Structure 1
Amino acid sequence: MSAELKTNEGSQIAENEAQLVTQRPSVDILENETEFLLLADMPAIDAKQLVVRLEKETLTLSGRSNIEGFAPVEYKRSFRVMKGLEPESVSAEYKQGVLSVHLPKPASSRPRRIQVQAG
């Protein structure tokens, strides 16, 4: 009887663990002279369930999908970002399963053209 109880307990634990799947979303990182753009594939999430957090030099993207009839999926991924990034300047939008995060570069890190003077 105790062996049967242990088996049942193990099944319940396995079922509970299978209910939440955690994934690292695939992310494309694009760069131009003024910003970095992160494009994270995070399908089937209500935009209200998405969290974009910038703390010191760590940017974290997270969210959870809850589609009826499917196991919930939790997405989470963190990135180290450059110093001097202003949290107020970061913006994000969610459209068709893709989270777009705009990270403007600080003015001090943007390339600038240096005037060459003739001797």
Structure 2
Amino acid sequence: MLNLSERQAVTMHVTFNLKASFIPPFITINAPAETPELQHLATNISQLTNSQLIAGISPRGTRELVPVNQIIRIHTDAKHVVMETKATSYTLTQRIYQLKQLLPSDLFLQLSSGE
């Protein structure tokens, strides 16, 4: 691994190639070789664009769909299941054991029966 003083600045160029036949849209990474950094970038893009959504009830009482990658914590509170994001908390209708089956196991870890 290079230290910060040895790293060279790399500029990422973004180009749109738009065609009506590109359904669904896709992303191609063009580089001289696949690197761990590019693989990490591909994983992040995939998670952002293919994010699963969980429905929750906001504090205002409206039903909202929240991308899984925005969830910080899910826990029980006074017999309600609560989903937290950086912005707010939502009440869920699913139970913790149901969410464990829905959520990606590489992103979420069940700490107890209530969290």
Q: Which TM class, normalised by the smaller chain length? A: under 0.3
Greater gyration radius: 1
* Between structures 1 and 2, the one with greater strand share: 1
Q: Return the TM-score normalized by structure 2.
A: 0.24
Per chain length, whose mean CA-contact separation is higher, i.e. which structure has more relative contact order (CA < 8 Å, sep 6+)? 1
Using the size of structure 1 for normalisation, the TM-score is: 0.24
